[in-house]
Amino acid sequence: QVDMSELSPEEQWKIEHARMHAKHRGHEAMHAEMVLILIATLVVAQLLLVQWKQRHPRSYNMVTLFQMWVVPLYFTVKLHWWRFLVIWILFSAVTAFVTFRATRKPLVQTTPRLVYKWFLLIYKISYATGIVGYMAVMFTLFGLNLLFKIKPEDAMDFGISLLFYGLYYGVLERDFAEMCADYMASTIGFYSESGMPTKHLSDSVCAVCGQQIFVDVSEEGIIENTYRLSCNHVFHEFCIRGWCIVGKKQTCPYCKEKVDLKRMFSNPYPFWALVGSGQCWERPHVMYGQLLDWLRYLVAWQPVIIGLVQGINYILGLE
């Protein structure tokens, strides 16, 4: 009999792994059934989620956002990840305040910029954190961690942790930003998710924030420039970029004409612009947003699907 308390964590894991293999030896047919159940459940769940998203996008987005917010919290408390819990509480507190401001009627004129500034800050931090985490993982795979006398498991844990932080808060930030953008634009009156806007947009007013535009499209602004879309509507540079990238909108806030993001944003060095000048709204960031959309499914719905599969296996008596 081995005293597990005297062994290192690595040795304990190896012993538990060997016991698991011994316990499940000779269960190949049962394991094949479990794999088939997993594949079938994944396919059916994916079809149902796609239909739900197409038929009722608003309820789908709200449920997905709620799960993105609380599912990691369950594992955090269960596994005692206190560092993540502290960051989650701070993020949730500030985001709740910003969301509260964005949903008030009447809307204070400074609120749209406050909202976009907060989510822009989280966007920058999550993007940079994800890149650093990815680089740490790649350096570990190539063995560069040995140059600094860092254990491979420590370097990999560091990289994966940073990568998870960047991707998770990147997804959560985009979903909250999209919800706030809808509320604010509808409150101002120049945008309606379905139907016609309740106000007429003049040439000197930004439809995103509702404030006056003082810089002509052809002029170079001191603080920010003015953008004219292909539909001839003009906006503050910060507002339209926040609407398109942070708020995940690819249409004009007033007439809903599609916006060509690839033609509008063309900085060839997005990462250095992100770190240096703050112009972080370029084409690779649009691709990064698409990656976050894919990861949303993995974080929000994959645990639910795995739990469903385990429930089916338990009912059928499969181990």
**What region, left, alpha or beta, does residue 217 occupy, with left being phi > 0 and alpha being psi -120 to 50 degrees?**
alpha
- 284 near 248, Cβ under 8 Å? no
Q: What is the C-alpha separation between 93 and 36, in angstroms, rounded?
A: 43
Q: Where are the domains of the chain?
A: 85-293
Token pair, residue 131, equals 């890149």
Token pair, residue 69, equals 């917010």
Bridge partners, 227 (sequence order): 235
pLDDT for position 160: 92
- Give the CA count within 13 Å in the CB-facing half-sphere of 175: 26
For each of the chain's 319 residues, which pLDDT tens digit applies? 556 667 777 777 777 777 776 666 666 677 788 889 889 998 998 899 889 988 988 888 888 888 888 888 888 888 888 999 999 999 999 999 999 998 888 878 778 778 888 888 888 898 899 899 999 999 999 888 888 888 888 899 999 999 989 988 988 888 888 888 778 777 766 555 555 555 666 777 877 777 778 777 767 766 677 878 778 788 887 777 777 766 666 777 777 777 765 566 554 334 434 433 444 444 555 566 667 677 777 788 888 888 898 888 888 877 6
